[in-house]
Amino acid sequence: MIQKILVQLARIIVGALFIFSGFVKLVDPIGSQYKFEEYFSESVLNMEFLIPYALPFSIVLIVAEILLGVMVLIGYKSKLTVWSLFLLTLVFLFLTWYSAYYDKVTDCGCFGDAVKLSTWGTFYKNVILIALVLILVVGVKYVKPIFGGKIPKVITFLSLAAFLFIVQHVLTHLPIIDFRAYAIGKNIPEGMVYPKDGSIPPVHDFMLEDEQADLAPELLKKEKVMLVIIYNLDKADENGFPAIKDIATKAKAKGYTVYGVSASFSDDLILAKEKYDLPFDFLFCDETTLKTIIRGNPGVVILDKGTVVEKKNWVDVDEIEL
């Protein structure tokens, strides 16, 4: 009886945790892509041959994580689900131990940008998690379907379809929930203020540099600013430049201050400006910062006195109301 109760408690906790952890990454799979690229880099796991596959790898892992959370709660394919949870948790346990012990990746991205934990805090969380999963492994016979007939199967496949639709939507557009310091409604100067505990503020590397100076302080005071983010010119979607040119031209006509922002070399940006007839000059910003600001490449951010009032991937820039 006690074992049965423990199994049901573990089932609820593990299922809820996997669903939450999977969902906060599902709404922003590109964030997980960046995290896996960091793990695969030479300085961490030295598996650079996997970097081109970071996005599909992250999508598979995210969908598997959230789907297994659903499956364990409804009791579909109990043995397969529980052992899959065990293997997946082992992977998480190794990655978080490696990050903590070698101090390689300071944020494992286990909860996306929604919840930040220390490296050792994340590892200990996974130690508790695998203990709960082991309870399920031992008592898998008590993990029974909560619905009869084919309902668990239908729920599982409908859930999978919904998760894949969300992935397709956010990859085409932008994350449906933005947990980052540059989300719509966030004020960038306020994000630069150091907390009372002396920790690093959410925004600590926002600079917009030309050849002479950092223009960020000046631009963050203006009311109508459009930033065209192209974090890496080589990886940018060329199909987006005509739409970018059009919206930037309209914005300038309505009194907006418009700049492109990139981490690419200035000579390459000059050539791109001429090639696509872009009506703005480029400023420099760190690539990681630009990836954090917006997932689009190219993408558009509208600022009003430092507050983010609009963000769009290039496919949706025609929706921007100037």
What's the pTM? 0.88
**Residues linked to residue 187 through DSSP beta bridges, in sequence order:** 307
Helix (H) or strand (E) holding 308: strand 307-313
Report yes or no: 29 and 171 within 8 Å, Cβ to Cβ. yes
Most confidently modeled of 29-33, 87-91, 303-307?
303-307
Longest Cα pair distance anywhere in the chain, in angstroms?
74
Report yes or no: 246 and 313 within 8 Å, Cβ to Cβ. no
Question: Measuring CA to CA, how many Å separate 254 from each of 44, 52, 184, 224, 248?
Answer: 47, 41, 21, 9, 10
3-state DSSP assignment of residue 302:
strand
The conformation of residue 281, written as its DSSP 8-state character, comes to: E
Instruction: Tally DSSP H helices, then E strands, for the chain.
Output: 11, 5
Q: Which residue has the tokens 């990746």?
A: 105
Question: Measuring CA to CA, how many Å separate 182 from each of 109, 208, 256?
Answer: 17, 15, 20
pLDDT > 80? residue 199: yes
Give residue-wise pLDDT tens across range 49-64.
999 999 999 999 999 9
Report yes or no: 226 and 258 within 8 Å, Cβ to Cβ. yes
Give residue-wise pLDDT tens across range 110-138.
665 666 777 788 888 889 999 999 999 99
Q: Which residue has the tokens 């200035």?
A: 266
pLDDT the model gives residue 119: 78
Give residue-wise pLDDT tens across range 93-104.
888 888 788 777
